Amino acid sequence: MRRDWSRGMWLAVGAVAALVLGIATTLLLAANGGFRGGGPATWRGAAVQCSAPSLKGHVVEVTVGDMGPGMMGRPDGGVPNGGPGGHGLGMLWLRATPRAVPAGVVSLRVVNAGVLPHEVVVLPLPAGQTVGERLTGVDGRVDEAGSVGEASRSCRAGTGDGIVPGAAAWTTVKLQPGRYELVCNFPGHYGAGMYAELDVTH
């Protein structure tokens, strides 16, 4: 949501989706007993559940999200899907800025702007391969072998069970020069568009 085109798109989609998502979120929370006195403000309060502390090195801002259960399969395709060249069904998205950072200490600051849990795993991108090309197993996940970092713990650093909606997560890693792919490896999420390239320069 940091680029103008996507912010505009997000606002347009958001205007339409707010009501639907509000209802869906309300039902979801009601079913889970998730109300904590805030009620419907939960949706509007996305990303305020916690924020990351100041982080070391070059910081990459990552936003992950989805259109929510009420918006799956929108026929008009008007869904942010990771930017130009995005593949997959485009229902889920992962965006990172900047797209390139110098080698060394790099921190990922992730915000989950969706209504589903997500995560960010950093995988080296093999030569000749572009993002979105990994094969997914029968479980809908990609192979995480070779992972060099992960942010999947709500309001904490490092590896956990996933970032809950509205929460931040972060990790600080040392990256060698090369091309990397940031992925969400919840079942089916990679195939639905949750990946982005991060280049590490000399």
| CA–CA separation, 199 and 181 (whole Å) | 8
Q: Return all residues near 141 (Cβ < 8 A) that are at least 6 apart.
A: 185, 186, 187, 190
Scanning 32-40, 80-88, 143-151, 192-200 for contacts with Cu ion by CB under 5 A, the matching segment is 192-200
Residue 142 binds Cu ion (CB under 5 A): no
Residue 110 binds Cu ion (CB under 5 A): no
Q: Which of 43, 186, 190, 195 binds Cu ion (CB under 5 A)?
A: 186
Q: Which residue, 40 or 143, has its beta carbon nearer to Cu ion?
A: 143
Residue 141 binds Cu ion (CB under 5 A): no
| CA–CA separation, 32 and 123 (whole Å) | 33
Q: Strand, coil or helix: what is 115?
A: coil
Q: Which of 111, 184, 196, 198 binds Cu ion (CB under 5 A)?
A: 184
Scanning 6-14, 17-25, 112-120, 167-175 for contacts with Cu ion by CB under 5 A, the matching segment is 112-120
CA contacts within 13 A on the Cβ side of 76: 8
Token digits for 173?
Answer: 């890693």
Q: Which residue, 114 or 175, has its beta carbon nearer to Cu ion?
A: 114
Which of 78, 67, 55 has the alpha carbon at shortest distance from 17?
67
Q: Strand, coil or helix: what is 156?
A: coil
Q: Strand, coil or helix: what is 153?
A: strand
Nearest distance from C-beta of residue 79 to Cu ion, angstroms:
14
Q: Which residue, 82 or 106, has its beta carbon nearer to Cu ion?
A: 82
Scanning 79-87, 104-112, 134-142, 183-191 for contacts with Cu ion by CB under 5 A, the matching segment is 183-191
Residue 134 binds Cu ion (CB under 5 A): no
Residue 118 binds Cu ion (CB under 5 A): yes
Token digits for 66?
Answer: 């989805």
Residue 189 binds Cu ion (CB under 5 A): yes
Residue 194 binds Cu ion (CB under 5 A): yes
Which of 145, 152, 159, 137 has the alpha carbon at shortest distance from 184?
152
Residues near Cu ion (CB under 5 A): 118, 184, 186, 189, 194
